[in-house]
Every structure is written in C-alpha cells, then in structure tokens.
Amino acid sequence: MGFLQDLAGRVEEVAVSGGKFADAFVRTAGAAVAGALVFVEKEIGYAQRAAKRPKAERRGDKQVPHK
C-alpha cells in the first residue's frame, strides 16, 4: 500500500499544478481506485472467513442434516 499512497500523492501534486481538468480527472480516477481497493479488501475478508469455516458449512459441499 505504501507504493499506491506515494503514487496517489504524486498524482495529486500534478493535478494541483495542472488545472481544473487534471484535478477532476485525478479525483475521478482516485475514486475508482479507492473503490477497487475497498472491493479487494472485502473479498479478502470473505475468503478469510470462508477458510475458517468447517468444510460442512461451505457452499457446494453436501449439507449435513441438523439434529
């Protein structure tokens, strides 16, 4: 993440010096990247929770009848 934060800082510096169009472009691109990072973080969380569940509870496996 350090690399991405450094890159975002540099891009923001360029946007400030580049005018309104560059600023709007960077803000839009930044929002898209931030959304993608949130998505990836959620997916990692889902995968971690799925890995912790016993096999009988995972999707696709045969259901064990409850007593």
Query: Which residues span the domain enclosing 16?
Result: 2-54
Rounded to whole angstroms, the Cα distance separating 33 from 31 reads 6
Q: Would residue 26 count as lying in a domain?
A: yes
Rounded to whole angstroms, the Cα distance separating 33 from 29 reads 6
- Provide the angle, in degrees to the nearest 10, between the axes of the packed helices 2-18 and 20-52: 160
Q: Is the pTM above the cut of 0.85?
A: no
Q: Which two tokens stand for residue 48?
A: 């971690």
> In the chain, how many domains are there?
1
Stronger pLDDT, 27 or 48, i.e. the higher one:
48
Q: Are 53 and 64 in contact (CB under 8 A)?
A: no
Q: Would residue 18 count as lying in a domain?
A: yes
Q: Would residue 50 count as lying in a domain?
A: yes
Q: Would residue 49 count as lying in a domain?
A: yes
pLDDT digits (tens, 9 = 90+) for 24-39: 777 788 888 888 888 8
pLDDT (0 to 100) of residue 7: 73
Q: Would residue 27 count as lying in a domain?
A: yes
